[in-house]
Homo-oligomer: A and B are copies of this chain.
Amino acid sequence: MTQTLDATLAGSPARALVCRSCSARYPLAAQHACIECFGPLEVAYDERAIAAVTRQQIESGPANIWRYAALMPVGQAPASRVSVNPGWTPLVPAGALAGAIGIDAPLWVKDDSANPTHSFKDRVVSIALTAASQFGFTRFACASTGNLANSVAAHAARAGVPSMVFIPADLEPGKIITTAVYGGDVIAVDGSYDDVNRLCAQLADTDEFEKTAFVNVNVRPFYAEGSKTLGYEVAEQLGWRIPAQVVIPMASGELLTKVDKAFSELVATGLAVAPAGGWRVFGAQSVGCNPIATALRDGTSDITPVKPTGIAKSLNIGDPASGPFALETVRRTGGWMDDATDDEIREGIALLAATTGIFAETAGGVTIAVLRKLVASGRLDPTLDTVVFNTGEGLKTLDAVADQAKPTHTVAPTLRAAREAGLLD
């Protein structure tokens, strides 16, 4: 697709795509890599337009990501939005969780399982597909570890646009069914997520897929901007204040960098206040797929790809494209990264559920387990306020906790049976 976005006409503050490596500038179009150096492209904004946005303007908007439309590259006109209207998910105070793991300061869980298809991916897909629609694409597609597939298929169904989603064939059944139920094409690929992603990149270059938007390939710069709404919401929900510490799960590493970028923008424009001493960004991976955390521990910026294993499938990206940027963010802000075993992930899910009533998918278990480790190792300051991100829904990864989450008693339907089972003790 060669269509470009007339940002001024659309009322968008976006002005160009800029290479994150060499700073080359390009028009706002369906392009994700720099022609000069093959670096990833990022949306650049008119700083004056961004600076003119007010808290009141945002607060009077809808209870979803579109309250931040004035800060987004697309979607200013409500009719232009291709969206299931995600966002404005709960920021849940988690005092009992804090107590259980030795945090003395306020702790919150940003619960993105509350989105329409129950993961943070609805945010990025809404921005990506709104852009794709502007660029004239007539089919929506993605490579996915599950959550993204759910979201793209649901967005396509709502918009009445055909979809084709590519998933590793060994995904959790819940994530396959929740994609296929929307009626689009679902392609199970015999391989890892990295294999699936590679196939999609090849398909995106064919003539047959010229009018197909791969949300995380050819409209990736727009896709990535959607993650910033998570950072905006946390700050607004804290009364336009950036928390001192955030703990964020990492797959590609992109989410972590975008939350940090959102905080920076809010502080630069005066919309939010930074904590004394700035904020620190912490990253969470599983032991089964820890290439970014390993690079941090090894003191390098070169990420060695791994072959992912373990139950945290939604984080299983063995060759994480934004890993170097995640490392830069964590080092610059004085944060840290750690990783969790499958057993620790399961314990993390159970601990979060029992203390907050939030049932997270395995990625959320990773983040809680890593939060716990960061406190134990002294990397995370237990006297500073902290926000931990749950990015997905436990109902999608039931198998992970099926063995531990069982009935505590089984009885016949009589008072005598209840008494014999000890229920009246």
Taking each of A181, A196, A398, A421, which has the highest tally of chain B beta carbons within 10 Å of its own beta carbon? A181
A403 → chain B closest CB, angstroms: 10
Give chain B residues whose Cβ lies under 8 Å from the Cβ of A96: 160
Give chain B residues whose Cβ lies under 8 Å from the Cβ of A185: 408-409, 423
The answer to whether A401 touches B181, judged by C-beta atoms less than 8 angstroms apart, is yes
The answer to whether B353 touches A183, judged by C-beta atoms less than 8 angstroms apart, is yes
Q: Is the C-beta of A326 less than 8 angstroms from some C-beta in chain B?
A: no
Q: Mark A158-199, 1 if CB is under 8 A from B, else 0.
A: 101000100101000110111111110111111100011011
Within 8 A of B (CB), among A355-374: 355-359
Nearest residue, chain B, Cβ from A406: B180
The answer to whether A355 touches B190, judged by C-beta atoms less than 8 angstroms apart, is no
Q: Is the C-beta of A206 less than 8 angstroms from some C-beta in chain B?
A: yes
Give chain B residues whose Cβ lies under 8 Å from the Cβ of A177: 398, 401-402, 405-406
CB pairs A–B below 8 angstroms (16 shown):
A63-B63, A92-B158, A117-B357, A156-B357, A158-B356, A180-B406, A181-B359, A181-B404, A182-B354, A183-B353, A190-B410, A190-B411, A191-B412, A208-B424, A208-B425, A395-B396
Known: A157-B353, A186-B408. 13 other contacts (CB 8 A): A116-B357, A116-B358, A118-B118, A164-B423, A178-B405, A180-B407, A187-B410, A187-B423, A188-B407, A195-B413, A202-B415, A203-B423, A208-B424
